[in-house]
Chain A
């Protein structure tokens, strides 16, 4: 610092520096740019690790207080500060499973229609519209759920189910309108676009000679789909289903608004339930004690780990599918 002040560089000394200045500046710019982008890329890994770390650290009180039993206990008593996560884990898994039962046939059906039957322009227009379904904010689905689907379920669908299938434990009990089944239906609508659009891409990528060989053997169009196209596209479709499952497990607002928010496990699908995401949305800002907050964050940690596994599996299936489309 002081050296530059006392001795400004004399003019001749700039002469030998000039030719040297040009070449290093190229390498310098390149490596700076490369390492800056590298730093940003690494920050994505840092976020992934940071989420896991923060959730783990900030749930320490709950992990020490309840241990592993937390995952298997059915009690939820904020007054006595005695917590168990089982009703929420159960609710998340059952509502997502219901969503898959509805959305998988529907989504794959849409994909087959768009890839095999519809002319290309109709198919493109339809898949654009199906993707719009995924763009609608989840809170809007929740609003429709509360004011349209819940009354419909209470007045029409649930009494019908009770009348027809009330003898099974799955459809017993009064028709509240809200409940597991309602949540499953809303979730199904929200994940159909994922399954349909990704499966459509997979079906469109099936090589033409494969289909032509099946046709040459005299198969009807549907037999071509069933015997040649679907087996070939199977792993890609399974990947898309896992992606949809990942969405369903973590979906918060729409589910919170229609599932009934009761932390109990009931055999009936018509009974109100609760999910991990919903309890976080409802109770996080009302949690008064540190233990309560840490308990909720531990539920977040469990949810995080489940979705990481499901999404990891989905991505690995889709990656393998891209590397070796036959999926074998």
Chain B
């Protein structure tokens, strides 16, 4: 009898521990969100969105150029990376589902997905910055594009595979060639899923810092065109956070709040579109 009591006690104790684990993890999440919000809001002002950074020692100023910079970099990454990722995903789902090449491409995409972002930065540095001999928006966009390709490939593949076989077969039975079946039936059917994948991907990439450090570099002024160094919110947060100036720390919190809202709104919006979560891998 006492052994059974022990077993019941052990059962309750073990599950209490797992509940505490979950509680602790969620507490960390709410602490991070809350802390950044409180510190960010108190430092946020209209100037933050409209002004350029001020010289060292002069208070005030904002990060207008970094906000535009992040948008430009993510746009460039999307233009360069998404077509590659989505078309690659179409190949995996429609032609390479079972063959050996499909397996290798899928495996390569998964493995590249795990390559540290800073190594992606070095890769972009060697193929864009070294030949051009200067940092540029283009190099930063290429670095981010390479980061989003593997995820775009895998999410496209997963969502296309969700389209039932019967849909494809009915379209084929009507006499459509396969490429029209894919572009006019399968992809529109999976459109919401594809959009979710793209938005999750962009939300992840827009918070990346490491690949931009030595590709887009940074810029305290407006950056014109695509061939000049450009500043971005994540890099500004890093530079300002490790600086010794109190005023810069405040700006870093404001930038962190803006970046976090940008990333989380995109992320949550993407999930609402699909109403079905996608694994973080």
Contacts and interface: CB of A to CB of B under 8 A. Distances in A.
A315 B111 contact: yes
B259 A34 contact: no
B88 A37 contact: yes
A267 interface: no
Contacts of B102: 41
A285 B213 contact: yes
Interface residues of B, number: 94
B86 to A, nearest CB: 8
Given A110-B25, A133-B29, A137-B209, A300 B119 contact: yes
A44 B177 contact: no
Given A47-B146, A129-B29, A139-B238, A193 B280 contact: yes
A42 to B, nearest CB: 7
Interface stretch (B8-16, B59-67, B161-169): B8-16
B97 interface: no
A110 B249 CA distance: 34
* Residue of A41, A223, A249 with most partner-chain B CB within 10 A: A41
Nearest to A246: B114
A196 B25 contact: yes
Given A113-B15, A221-B15, A277-B118, A143 B105 contact: no
B182 interface: yes
Given A140-B260, A285-B214, A311-B110, A280 B118 contact: yes
Q: Is the interface of A mostly helix, strand, loop or mixed?
A: helix
Interface string A219-253: 01111010000000000000000010011011111
Interface stretch (B48-56, B122-130, B189-197): B122-130
Interface of A: 26, 29-30, 32-34, 36-38, 40-45, 47-48, 50-51, 54-55, 57-58, 105-107, 109-110, 112-114, 116-118, 124, 126-144, 146-148, 189, 192-194, 196-198, 201, 220-223, 225, 243, 246-247, 249-253, 257, 277, 280-281, 284-285, 297, 300, 303-304, 307-308, 310-312, 314-315
